[in-house]
């Protein structure tokens, strides 16, 4: 059994020279192997086409449901009553998806990370029972509507979308922006400020609700394959039974962000690994000045730096996952991981772009996508500066946000 797992992981992650993936179970490794097979068969042949035309490959992506990436019984062996897979598996699932393409990974983190965690952490027993299974098997697509046109990092105090209770229902008004998948989602958790107590609450808006409109943000140069929507809410009615009962202030929202900030750290790790793997492939195959690009000293030095970045990012992702599996959920941990991993990701894709040369600005080598998409990953789920300030507050005991 151990030999089989080792064989699978060696095939999947040759860049994992410190064997971080050995912490996975055989069942988790098998699900990741099946995920890779579906990616290569279904998604790789079409991803550049969809990235270029700014559309998402829904039909091909939903083939991943066949692997049961959220609910395969192999992920729950010995922990059958758990609501979600282990965080260490989660880290390598994001690594697997982002190692291929960050738009695909981002779509999943909106659905299986932000949206799903909002339901699990914010819903009462009845709501979790209604919503969670349909999200886990991809019967329903979900997302996460928090950020607004004028409020991103400052949503804690600046969130402007309002919710007014009228009898047994609520009326929502406002705007949201950069909400991935919001134009196609079946259920949309929308965060709004209660006009009575001024607390942030969360409301599940269902597809087709009157007054809800989501239009994709045009002219993006990053994460082109995923649609980020601008939402307008005009007197949208949501019944009290669809208000997530356990979200009653920004502290509850922050608990969700601890999870999802770690998820984006894992995406940055995956992009680092993907850029490295794509660059190595070119370096071994392309001839310049009579020998392979990878046979030059300066290229090997850059490849070594890229591998060091992969190893650094994996160490952050794996350790924060272990802590979360142990029940330790700290914002400073997620912020530090996201800050570091996004930094080394940005460095790695730039190094790869340079090694690949002019072909690195095309979609033919994958580096072009990684290079463009890195800018979005560097910014979302907390900019570098915001995450640094969260860490700085922990260091000196004083917040410096304003």
Q: What proportion of the chain, given as a percentage, has pLDDT over 70?
A: 99
Buried residues in 320-356 as b, exposed as e (16+ CB within 10 A): bbebbeeeeeebebbbbbbbbbbbbbbbbbbbbbebb
- Which helix (H) or strand (E) is 191 found in, with range? strand 187-194
Q: Is 401 within a domain? A: no
- Which H or E element spans position 278? helix 250-285
Query: Is residue 143 within 8 Å of 204, Cβ to Cβ?
Result: no
Q: Kindly report, residue by residue over 242-267, the tens digit of the pLDDT.
A: 999 999 998 999 889 888 899 999 99
> Mean pLDDT across the chain, nearest whole number?
94
| DSSP 8-state assignment for residue 112 | I
Q: What is the DSSP string of 139-190?
A: SS-B--B--BTTBSTTHHHH---EEEEETTEEEEEEEEEEEETTTT-SEEEE
- Domain boundary (210, 225, 248) is at 248
Judge whether 86 and 28 are in contact, CB under 8 Å.
yes
Name, in order, each residue with C-beta under 8 angstroms of 27's C-beta and a sequence gap of 6 or more.
72, 74, 75, 77
Residues 66 and 118 in one domain: yes
Distance, in Å, from the CA atom of 351 to the CA atom of 363, rounded to the nearest integer, reads: 17
Mean pLDDT (whole number) for 344-359: 95
Determine the distance from the C-alpha atom of residue 173 to the mean position of all C-alpha atoms in its chain, rounded to a whole number.
27
Domain of 87, in residue numbers:
2-136
User: What is d(CA 191, CA 209) in angstroms, rounded to the nearest whole number?
Assistant: 16
Do residues 96 and 218 both lie within one domain? no
**For 288-304, what is the mean pLDDT?**
94
Q: How many domains are contained in the chain?
A: 3
End-to-end alpha carbon distance in the chain: 54
Is pLDDT above 80 for 157? Answer: no
Residue 141 placed within a domain: no
Residues 222 and 274 in one domain: no
Q: pTM here?
A: 0.94
390 and 258 in a common domain: yes
């Amino acid at each position: 059994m151990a030999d089989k797992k080792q064989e699978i992981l060696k095939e999947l992650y040759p860049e994992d020279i410190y064997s971080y993936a050995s912490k996975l179970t055989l069942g988790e490794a098998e699900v990741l192997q099946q995920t890779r097979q579906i990616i290569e068969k279904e998604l790789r042949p079409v991803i550049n086409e969809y990235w270029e035309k700014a559309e998402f490959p829904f039909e091909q992506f939903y083939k991943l449901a066949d692997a049961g990436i959220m609910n395969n019984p192999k992920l729950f062996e010995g922990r059958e009553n758990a609501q979600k897979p282990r965080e260490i598996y989660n880290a390598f699932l994001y690594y697997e998806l982002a190692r291929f393409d960050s738009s695909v990974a981002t779509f999943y983190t909106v659905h299986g990370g932000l949206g799903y965690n909002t339901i699990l952490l914010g819903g009462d027993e009845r709501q979790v029972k209604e919503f969670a299974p349909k999200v886990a098997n991809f019967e329903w697509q979900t997302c996460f509507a928090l950020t607004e046109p004028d409020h991103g990092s400052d949503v804690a105090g600046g969130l402007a979308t309002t919710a007014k209770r009228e009898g047994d229902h609520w009326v929502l008004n406002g705007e949201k922006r950069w909400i991935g998948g919001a134009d196609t989602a079946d259920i949309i958790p929308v965060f709004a400020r209660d006009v009575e107590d001024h607390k942030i609450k969360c409301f599940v808006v269902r597809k087709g609700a009157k007054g809800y409109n989501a239009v994709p943000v045009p002219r993006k140069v990053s994460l082109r394959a995923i649609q980020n929507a601008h939402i307008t809410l005009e007197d949208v009615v949501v019944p009290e039974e669809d208000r997530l009962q356990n979200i009653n202030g920004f502290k509850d929202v922050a608990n969700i962000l601890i999870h999802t900030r770690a998820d984006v750290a894992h995406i940055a790790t995956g992009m680092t690994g993907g850029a490295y793997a794509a660059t190595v492939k070119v370096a071994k195959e392309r001839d310049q000045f009579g020998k392979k690009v990878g046979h030059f000293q300066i290229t090997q030095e850059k490849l070594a730096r890229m591998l060091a970045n992969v190893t650094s990012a994996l160490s952050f992702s794996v350790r924060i996952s272990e802590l979360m599996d142990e029940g330790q959920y700290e914002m400073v941990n997620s912020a530090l991981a996201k800050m570091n991993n996004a930094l080394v990701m940005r460095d790695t894709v730039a190094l790869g772009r340079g090694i690949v040369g002019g072909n690195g600005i095309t979609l033919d080598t994958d580096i072009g996508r990684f290079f463009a998409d890195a800018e979005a990953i560097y910014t979302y789920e907390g900019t570098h500066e915001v995450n640094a300030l969260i860490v700085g507050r922990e260091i000196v005991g004083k917040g410096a946000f304003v």
